[in-house]
Amino acid sequence: MILKSIRLKNFRKFKDSYLEFPDGVTSVIGLNGVGKSTLFEAIAWTLYGPVAARTSAEQIKREDAAASDSCCVELDFIFDDDAYHVVREMSGKNLSASGTATVNGKIVATGAEVVGKFIQRKLGMDWKAFYTSIFAKQKELNTLSSMNPSERRQLILRMLGINAIDEIISQIRSDLKEKKNLIETLSGMLVDEEGNNKILMYQQQIKKQQMLKDQRIRSIQQQKQLQHTIQQEHSKRKKETETKKSAYEQSLQTAASLEEKKSKSERKQRVMQDVTFLENSLQERKKSIQKIKENLLQTQNLERELQDFDKQQEKNTNSLQAVLQKKQQTLTLTTRLQKEIDQLTDKKHAIEKIGPGAKCPTCDRILGDQQKKLIHAFTQDIEKKQKEIHHLTEEQNTLQKEFDRFSREKQALQKKNMFLRTQVIEREKNQSILRHTTEEINRESTQLEQKKKECQNLGDVVFDQKEYQRMKTQVNDTYRQYQESLRILDEIQEKQQKIILALKEQEGEQKLIDQQIKTYEEHIEEHQRVEKKLDNERTNAQHCSMLSEVMEAFRTYLISQIRPLLSAHASELFMELTDGKYSQIELDEDYNLLVYDQGTAYTIERFSGGEEDLANLCIRLAISEIITERAGSIFQFVILDEIFGSQDQIRKQNIIRTLNGFSSKFKQIFLITHVDDIKHFTEHTMEISEDETGVSSIKIE
């Protein structure tokens, strides 16, 4: 993997920066906090997403960027001879994540998570392994030396990927445990709580059920034989019942004929009685009609009397209304005249009160002699109107007398009206009775003729009462015999029904037994499948156990090979960096770091801080070199962050010279440092600086 270029927009301190990565050794210089490590963190973030960032998504986007501005990184690199272009972006207020991956100009993945999974699958490592392979930090180097041997051993094995084998072994052990649990579960399914084999138990139950089935079959055969016997008896009794039924029906038919004669005789007697009754009734009704006609003759002038009465009543009503109208008129005139008198009196008193020296209320002149004239005129008008009221009062009295006379006449007419109405009601009643009686005479006359004709049609009727009573007794006897036969037949049918029900019940029990046998057979098949699965799981568990032993042995072999290989690579680097002063550096079996001085091994604590840092650097570079070799040199770049520590100038030059010799293994080596004079010893210099607004920029020299 070779880095080609990167563009950063609003990523941490970078507003909009573009960089093409050079080959060879490149120093990345700048003050602390300007974004040196951030540049390479952006590479991991672009490839793997937020899991590879050291902070949350909100802290990745540049602080002063607008809400509408997006945070975006575009990375170009070469991997396995293919050109990759990866873009990762966060946009909007919610920092919605998106991403795309292009290989040789063709989009191969879209979506933030999809791109991360695609890169992990293509590179063959997750973000942790990526950091371990290409990123070496001073803090990490210090950690190597400060750890106890056990912790150092675990860290180195993890960095070299041995932990992947541990995970595989752990997974195998987990699978083996699950299979053992499953074997235990399956084994438990094949036995009951007392440890008895369920298949044998089901087979025994099938034998028991088969015996019960045989018993049911024998019982069913017995019931069918009994059913046949009952059926024969039922047929015999049914024939006897039919014979008794015929005898009963024949006697019933004879009795019906006698019943008809009896009914005919009784009918003729009733008809003759009806004839006598109708003849007597007709005589009585004819007498009643004669009397009613006599009463109607007395009211033959009633219509003329009613007409005369209506005229008298109308005349009386008109007279009363005329008198009332005149009384009302005189009363109205009297009231109006009295009101006028009151007004004139008030005016007269007003003139008398103001005197002759006052002004006229109408013309506003002095009254003088005119006052007396006005008083005299008012007096004459008042007297005149009082006379008119007197005449009206007399007329009112006369009208009242006429009203009283007409009222008395009205009362007399009302009494006469009641009498006449009573006469009308009585006449109508007699007329109604006459019509009804006439209709009844006609009806009874018709009915009498019909009855006489019916009596004639019935003719002479001969009925023997003794024969009738004898036949009734015979009908009762034959009916009782027929009912007794039916009762016996019902009892036989009831027995037959019970046998049928018992037969169905036993056949149902036989079906249940068959179903139970089938259920046991299914249980046996199911447990046989469990036995087969149990055998398979036992075989698989044996294979897992063998695989676990193989992987344990393989892990032991790898660990035994790694430590000498790591010591060899680190010794070569350490000898070169110390100009041959120290011939060898190694990790012992406990992963203690030992340095050989003139053939004698010493622990790292014996040496100076610079030599300790140098030894740690050699171990770390050896780790990266081994990882790269094992990966087939697919990662051809390495990033070293603040690795110089306490090294003097000569050691720094030696480190850089040695790194230049790594060009066969790493085409790109990036040295992140705040030491400015390092740039004089590297092929390229990448300077990162920060302006007064806090925005960082990159410059290649």
**Rounded CA separation 134/284 (Å):** 145
Q: Other CB atoms closer than 10 Å to residue 444's CB: what's the count?
A: 17
Return the DSSP state at 111.
S
DSSP annotation string for 243-282: HHHHHHHHHHHHHHHHHHHHHHHHHHHHHHHHHHHHHHHH
**Rounded CA separation 361/347 (Å):** 10
Q: Does an H or E element contain 29, and which?
A: strand 24-29
Which regions of 563-623 does DSSP assign to beta strands (E)?
584-587, 593-597, 600-603
For residue 44, what are the CA distances in angstroms to 122, 164, 283, 541?
14, 21, 138, 41
Mean pLDDT is lowest, of 412-426, 465-479, 617-631, for: 617-631
pLDDT tens per residue across span 275-333: 888 888 888 888 888 888 777 777 777 778 778 878 888 888 888 888 888 888 888 99
Give the confidence band of 89 by pLDDT, cuts at 50, 70, 90. Answer: very high
Return the DSSP state at 578.
T
111: left (phi over 0), alpha (psi -120 to 50) or beta: left
Which regions of 104-229 does DSSP assign to beta strands (E)?
106-110, 135-137
**Which residues, including other chains, have CB under 8 Å from residue 77's CB and lie 6 or more apart?**
1, 2, 3, 4, 84, 86
Structure tokens, 516: 């139970």
**Rounded CA separation 7/246 (Å):** 119
**Rounded CA separation 303/300 (Å):** 8
- In the block, tokens 């049914």 appear at 238
Sign of CA dihedral 51, 53, 59, 62: negative
Which CATH number is 1-124+667-701 given? 3.40.50.300
When pLDDT is averaged across residues 521-538 and rounded to a whole number, the result is 87
Are 40 and 672 in contact by the 8 Å Cβ rule? The answer is yes
Structure tokens, 464: 């023997």
Enumerate the β-bridge partners of residue 101: 86, 109
Domain with CATH 1.10.287.510 in the chain: 298-454
Domain with CATH 3.40.50.300 in the chain: 1-124+667-701
pLDDT at 83: 94
Return the DSSP state at 693.
T
Residue 633 reports pLDDT greater than 50: no
Of the two residues 174 and 467, the one the predictor is more confident about is 174
Residue 635 reports pLDDT greater than 70: no
For residue 57, what are the CA distances in angstroms to 62, 293, 557, 624?
11, 128, 43, 30
- In the block, tokens 């009633």 appear at 302
**Which residues, including other chains, have CB under 8 Å from residue 536's CB and lie 6 or more apart?**
none
Which CATH number is 298-454 given? 1.10.287.510
**Rounded CA separation 197/190 (Å):** 6
pLDDT at 76: 96
- Widest pairwise Cα distance in the chain: 179
Structure tokens, 97: 């994540």
Phi, psi of 420 (to 5 degrees): -65, -40
pLDDT tens per residue across span 543-587: 888 888 887 787 777 667 777 877 888 787 777 777 777 778 887
DSSP annotation string for 461-521: ----HHHHHHHHHHHHHHHHHHHHHHHHHHHHHHHHHHHHHHHHHHHHHHHHHHHHHHHHH
Which regions of 155-308 does DSSP assign to beta strands (E)?
none
Residue 650 reports pLDDT greater than 90: no
Determine the residue type at 421. R
Give the confidence band of 445 by pLDDT, cuts at 50, 70, 90. Answer: confident
When pLDDT is averaged across residues 597-622 and rounded to a whole number, the result is 76
**Rounded CA separation 172/397 (Å):** 142
Give the confidence band of 361 by pLDDT, cuts at 50, 70, 90. Answer: low
Are 694 and 13 in contact by the 8 Å Cβ rule? The answer is yes
By DSSP bridging, strand 82-91 and strand 71-79 are antiparallel
Are 478 and 247 in contact by the 8 Å Cβ rule? The answer is yes
pLDDT tens per residue across span 144-158: 656 677 776 776 776
Phi, psi of 108 (to 5 degrees): -115, -15
Task: Give the chain's mean pLDDT.
Answer: 82
When pLDDT is averaged across residues 519-527 and rounded to a whole number, the result is 87
148: left (phi over 0), alpha (psi -120 to 50) or beta: beta
**Which residues, including other chains, have CB under 8 Å from residue 311's CB and lie 6 or more apart?**
none
Residue 45 reports pLDDT greater than 90: yes
Q: Does an H or E element contain 700, and which?
A: strand 696-700
When pLDDT is averaged across residues 213-219 and rounded to a whole number, the result is 85
